[in-house]
Amino acid sequence: MTRPTVLELRGVSKNFGPVAAVADVDLELKQGEFISFLGPSGSGKTTTLMMVAGLQAPSSGSILLNGRDLAPLPPYKRNIGVVFQHYALFPHMSVLANIAFPLEMRKLGRMQARRRAEAVLRLVGLPDLGDRLPSQLSGGQQQRVALARALAYEPPLLLMDEPLGALDKNLRAQMQIEIARLHRELGITVLYVTHDQEEALVMSDRIAVFNHGRVEQIGQPQSLYERPVTRFVAGFLGDSTFLPGKVQALQKEEAVVLTAHGPLRGHASPGVRPGEAAVVAVRPERVVLLTPGDTARENALRGRISDVIYLGQSRKFVVRLEDGSELLGLQPIGTASPAVTEGSEVLLGWSATDCNVLADSD
């Protein structure tokens, strides 16, 4: 089953004077898909979103909604739902009037608009608050109203720019579930901006990782986490230790990198060339303590544990390697293996398929 494409970005760029805020972004959103933009501050996420909404004009490239070029359409003719970070509710209108606003703009009668607004308000779980002013609502409630207002006219595409950025942690988790539920129930297509990686991993069908205005990698959360293709993605999404070296051999999926700790094997990402610089990226949870003589893992290193941090469900530990660099490890609590202790000399290892060899661009 192939779903129709709702939104397509073709080579979209945006320059502010000499600053390339967005550079050559290609993207395709399928009907009902939930895509997150994830990236550090200033990486161009908001700018990209604003170009889709029509609040910024691309310097080059084109944006298509349901196959139609959006360039000639001003924002008020695009029929796209937008939820702003600070809600942007109209402070002089009641909650119901806020939600009815886009309906009235679409020439719905007053009564009809009100009824529809009430229905949407029920949908987001605030049936009794319609007569209040936005200033009389909590942050989470305002967020729901903003969501209701953007959903009221059933837009084919919903844009959200860090909608949960101003909420505290518990409320965030609750709203994440709520948004995920609405996405499922309504089958809407969502473009979601966040710089919270956990949020992106939990909610998205696919994640686009932004860096310096470019999409570094786009893919499903699991593939992005387990098979990052650039050093930036590996470092930005979750923790990684990078062990630099030079590619010695490359066969199919596997590369051998000669590092300060001897040859290490890992899954080769595209762009890795024999004889060139590369890094081995290891996730802490893939690092296991080995007993002498254990040869099941292709990679093994020696080191001394310099730090152990208790995290409740697990222990994080820092291993000082022989050349003085550090390696991060994570040990679930309650496993059979002996607990890590500070100062002990250990042998560590991981399988070749559990780490990635990435071209070293830096």
**Any contact of residue 46 with Mg ion (CB under 5 A)?**
yes
Closest CB 42 distance from Mg ion, rounded Å:
8
**Any contact of residue 195 with ligand ATP (CB under 6 A)?**
yes
**Any contact of residue 136 with another protein (CB under 8 A)?**
yes
Angstrom distance (rounded) from CA 204 to CA 33: 8
Which x/- pattern over 147-176 shows residues binding another protein (rule: CB under 8 A)? --xx--x-----------------------
Token reading at 213: 């205005």
**Any contact of residue 82 with another protein (CB under 8 A)?**
yes
**C-beta neighbour count of 146 within 10 angstroms:** 25
Pairing of strands 288-290, 345-350: antiparallel
- Crossing angle of helices 110-123 and 139-151, in 10° steps, is 130
Angstrom distance (rounded) from CA 342 to CA 306: 6
Which x/- pattern over 34-73 shows residues binding another protein (rule: CB under 8 A)? -------------------xxx------------------
Helix, strand, or coil (residue 253): coil
Closest CB 344 distance from Mg ion, rounded Å:
45
Q: From the list 9, 12, 25, 44, which residue makes contact with ligand ATP (rule: CB under 6 A)?
A: 44
The count of chain residues that interact with another protein, using the rule CB under 8 A, is 28
Helix, strand, or coil (residue 201): helix
**Any contact of residue 309 with ligand ATP (CB under 6 A)?**
no
Q: From the list 13, 36, 43, 142, which residue makes contact with ligand ATP (rule: CB under 6 A)?
A: 43
Closest CB 352 distance from ligand ATP, rounded Å:
35
Residues contacting residue 308 through CB under 8 Å, at least 6 positions apart: 315, 316, 317, 318, 340, 341, 342
Residue spans of beta strands (DSSP E) within 149-269 = 157-161, 189-194, 206-211, 214-219, 241-251, 254-259, 262-268
**Any contact of residue 21 with ligand ATP (CB under 6 A)?**
yes
Binding site for another protein (CB under 8 A): 53-55, 74-82, 84, 86, 88, 90-92, 101-102, 105-106, 133, 135-136, 149-150, 153
Binding site for Mg ion (CB under 5 A): 46
